Amino acid sequence: MQHLLRPPTLAAFTAALLFISAIFSTSNAQNITRILEKHPEFSTFNHYLTLTHLALEINTRTTITVCAVDNSAMTNLLAKHPSISTIKNILSLHVLLDYFGAKKLHQITNGTALAATLYQATGSAPGSSGFVNITDLRGGKVGFGAEDNNGALPALYVKSVEEIPYNISVIQISQILPSPAAEAPTPAPSQQNLTAIMSVHGCKIFGDTLSAFHEAYSTFTDNIDGGLTVFCPVDNAFKAFLPKFKNLTAAGKLALLEFHGVPVYQTIAMLKSNNGLMNTLATDGAEKYDFSVQNDGDQITLKTKAVTAKVTDTIIDDVPLAIYAINKVLLPEELFKGKAPSPSPAPAPAPAADAPEAHKKKKKKKVADAPEPADSPAESPEDAADDTGDDSDGAVRFDGIVVTVLSLVFGFLML
């Protein structure tokens, strides 16, 4: 035992522990799944938080309140057979973007408050329907109602489940909050008009350009059912880029548009937890049109050697479709020379005139393959190795190290 813990070993071990606790405190402040697992009466609610990806969204936020309902209240909701994206809208109305512990709930200034919710934050909520009215009622009761529910407060506070001030408060309320907007059937994802959605959210020029290129537009819509994330450059960015866009070959235009789509559904929380290379709709095996995702604090950035763009807004997050606004046009390094000095020979120039044919054929296959590397950047080191981008390489390796260290620690904790 003694010679197992010689000073150098001990120091290394302590350093490792400090390193690990740093990781935990920055990226793993709370885990709603784990909190609710301790309470079997919320198992259905918990299951649907995971299924709708809301759990990850909750875990990456602080100063929030989750209004959980028990299994019988969930049974009433499920009896109406809502689609998964309707369930997501309804449950996201139950995540308040403020911290309400038991004490604060019973001591609301002026006895009433409107709380913004995750439903409102994802942009799916029309008008004021993403707000929840919380009102102190006679006899120490606290009533809850969706703002689009005619002033009725049908749900009552039951109890505090867990409070981690001021990061997360989990409370139980008596029933699901009725909300005509959240309960409305969502259009089948593949029926969504991408251009229309982009147009009303500050990305009209990109949307119009996309719809003018029928092949690109149908590549996007063909991918919706299997999961699609679109990064739309905002109008002033795409407008400034139009002269350069017009200068591209037909194949280049197609590749540039398709470069802004990723054939995997990604929430903000998933993007934050998945640093690394991301395949796009333009990716094909021969010419790698991919970019890397990197987090800088709370900011998600998308990088190629030619540009660094920031995600500025969520336009729609509706499983299996997510659309985010970005502040710059994503420039594939295959079409635009990077600014970074490159010691290795420059990559192949812009696609040849016959590229669209080959490009399209390969893409179909690649779409099916794509979720793998995008979901688990740490598992595809060869992707990083043959890419000359040092940044993305580093990010992928770092993820790999974290995964390895974490598995070691979990192994250690199990002992």
Ligand X SMILES: *[C@@H]1O[C@H](CO)[C@@H](O)[C@H](O)[C@H]1NC(C)=O
Q: From start to end of 255-403, where are the E strands?
A: 261-262, 276-279, 290-296, 299-303, 308-318, 321-326
- Please select the residue that binds ligand X; options are 16, 20, 23, 29, rule is CB under 6 A: 29
For ligand X, the closer of residues 1 and 353 by Cβ is 353
Does residue 109 belong to the site contacting ligand X (CB under 6 A)? yes
Residue of 16, 20, 31, 360 interacting with ligand X (CB under 6 A):
31
The C-alpha atoms of residue 387 and residue 397 are separated, in whole angstroms, by 13
| Helices of type H across 38-112 | 43-51, 54-59, 71-78, 84-92, 102-106
Nearer to ligand X, 91 or 153 (CB): 153
Position 276: which residue type?
G
Contact segment (CB under 6 A) with ligand X among 33-41, 178-186, 224-232, 324-332 equals: 33-41
From 26-34, 255-263, 276-284, 338-346, give the range in contact with ligand X by CB under 6 A.
26-34
Is 319 within 8 Å of 225 (Cβ atoms)? no
DSSP-derived letter for residue 156 is: E
Exposed (0-12), middle (13-18) or buried (19+): which is 273, by Cβ within 10 Å? Answer: middle
**Do 271 and 57 contact (CB within 8 A), yes or no?**
no
Q: Is 86 in the site for ligand X (CB under 6 A)?
A: no
d(CA 218, CA 360): 12
43-51 helix and 71-78 helix, angle to the nearest 10 degrees: 50
CB neighbourhood size of 109 (10 A): 7
d(CA 23, CA 211): 43
132-161 mask for ligand X (x: CB under 6 A)?
Answer: -x-x---------------x-x--------
Considering the rule CB under 6 A, would residue 339 count as an interface residue with ligand X?
A: no
- Of the pair 135, 388, the CB lying nearest ligand X is at 135
Closest to 29 measured CA to CA, from 171, 166, 170? 166
Decide if residue 164 touches ligand X (CB under 6 A).
Answer: yes
Q: Is 167 in the site for ligand X (CB under 6 A)?
A: yes
Among 112, 128, 376, 404, binds ligand X (CB under 6 A): 112
If the CB atoms of residues 76 and 193 are measured against ligand X, the closer one turns out to be 193
Length of the chain: 415
CB of 358 to ligand X, least distance (A): 24
**51 contacts ligand X (rule: CB under 6 A):** no
275 binding ligand X? (CB under 6 A): no
Task: Verify binding: residue 34, ligand X, rule CB under 6 A.
Answer: yes
99: preceding bond cis by omega (within 30 degrees): no
Selected range binding ligand X among 97-105, 194-202, 283-291, 378-386, rule: CB under 6 A: 194-202
Residue 247 lies near ligand X (rule: CB under 6 A): yes
| Residue numbers at the binding site for ligand X (CB under 6 A) | 25, 28-29, 31, 33-34, 37, 59, 62, 109-110, 112-114, 133, 135, 151, 153, 164, 167, 193, 195-196, 199, 243-244, 247
